Structure 1
């Protein structure tokens, strides 16, 4: 059996690094693509030192908003994963230079101003060396360019490179404190990828809130989300539409990552992958490791 090759865009992040870890455990050749290259390990694990498995990952630097910087890392990849996104949007240069506060960015996120269409509608060419953000949001990290457009363009390049399968880390839902565009842009990405690249098996993972002991801030947040999920159960999902992901039981980040790797190797899995199926896939992988 030939060795599988996986490219993870966002592989230095909280969930992306764990996907790399479980893929390495299967003997796959893994390439991580991100702005930073190798992670700052203290931000994704409980140690500031690289774990042993990290030595088997090829850590590459690229800009997901500039396809020409990463297309070479997709060549010969069997599988491609998009594991990036933002919860809040802001003018990142303005924030760094003190010209815009995160609160101003949040206010902007809730506005109803017209938003640019996805890169396929704008006829952005494959392999372009240009930033895929339209001129009106050139300095802005928005839900459109990070949660939608970067995924659509990565899927386009993966399909051109003849990848067998593509995973987009979407979400179970939004939350009352987030603009509706947070989840709507993810659903727009799912729809565009499914319709435009039908020959490539696409999987849209919709995990709930993810937590891990190595990132302490996620533990109390997971506890609060767990309370919301319990309330949602007691009320028979009466408020599910309002609560979004805040009403879904949280999962360990490792569970989601392991499920992603298992799903990539299972040709029967395609389309939206909801929370129950995520847990089922992770359990299936765990049982295999026991044999």
Structure 2
């Protein structure tokens, strides 16, 4: 295992829920961090604690579907993290889950469908935010652009491409996990010009951000995991999955970037310690 000498990293979606923690972890590990997003702005709900690292990140506006907006920035990067994508195929779901009880209401409807009298709101699909476009095409475009940017400045060592994938299918979504696996397959085909890493977390929570709705869902899943691990003796391991913090996923992400021999998927069970850590 070795650490990149220049330690330059680009994170697409670095102002998002997980992306910001990858930025933070990388900064704390001595990396030069550039975050790319459609707004180019810092996280919208940064806390006072975040100010210790947030101004050390280079926040850049870019469109992942338009390589000319970021290609030149990738020439000196050792690793690129793709932390963008959609869970639902509609344009405003991220705004909805940021509302007071948005994510809890949507997840509750998945596990406990409303009665015919109280119908759940219909999620209108938006072609611009389809799984194929946001979860697959964006990753392939970014991967190929990274290769092109590094071709003339290559030191013979394959640059690292991290794709934030997913552990299992999310109830209430059709095509989500399939798009994640398709993206993994297509990015894998770029090897050996890239060293691909596929992070497969499950439900994530932030250790420092107290979101009432997400906290409720975390409590529900934690209880289900406890029952599965003790009363049911792991009989529902394939259905009830462990939860993990964004901070823990970020630590694993940077750790595997620094491991020259690692490539391929990093499973949730490994990250939560069910498998022996390497």
Rate the CA distance shift 1:104–1:64 in 2: closer, same or farther, 3 A.
Answer: farther
Hey, what does 1:268 align to over in structure 2? 261
Tell me if 1:204 matches 2:192.
no
Q: Shift of the alpha carbon at 1:239?
A: 7.4
Hey, what does 2:137 align to over in structure 1? 149
**How much is the aligned-residue C-alpha RMSD, in angstroms?**
2.8
Cα distance in structure 1, aligned partners of 2:22 and 2:195: 18
- How many residue pairs were aligned? 237
Cα distance in structure 1, aligned partners of 2:27 and 2:169: 32
Tell me if 1:158 matches 2:152.
no
Cα distance in structure 1, aligned partners of 2:247 and 2:179: 25
Rate the CA distance shift 1:284–1:52 in 2: closer, same or farther, 3 A.
Answer: farther
Rate the CA distance shift 1:177–1:239 in 2: closer, same or farther, 3 A.
Answer: farther
Query: Among 250, 259, 273, which residue is 2:252 paired with?
Result: 259
Contact 2:89 2:129 in 1 (8 A): yes
Rate the CA distance shift 1:175–1:58 in 2: closer, same or farther, 3 A.
Answer: same
TM-score, length basis structure 1: 0.73
Cα distance in structure 2, aligned partners of 1:35 and 1:62: 5
Contact 2:161 2:194 in 1 (8 A): yes
Contact 1:210 1:218 in 2 (8 A): no
SS at match of 1:56: coil
Q: Shift of the alpha carbon at 1:65?
A: 2.5
Hey, what does 1:124 align to over in structure 2? none
| Contiguous gaps of at least 5 residues in structure 2 | 96-119, 151-157
Rate the CA distance shift 1:220–1:80 in 2: closer, same or farther, 3 A.
Answer: same
Hey, what does 2:6 align to over in structure 1? 3
Hey, what does 1:71 align to over in structure 2? 71
SS at match of 1:203: strand
Contact 1:41 1:50 in 2 (8 A): no
TM-score, length basis structure 2: 0.76
The structure whose residues are more often helix, as a share, is 1
SS at match of 1:7: strand
Rate the CA distance shift 1:228–1:6 in 2: closer, same or farther, 3 A.
Answer: same
Hey, what does 1:172 align to over in structure 2? 167
Contact 2:35 2:58 in 1 (8 A): yes
Hey, what does 1:221 align to over in structure 2? 217
SS at match of 1:196: coil
Rate the CA distance shift 1:103–1:146 in 2: closer, same or farther, 3 A.
Answer: farther
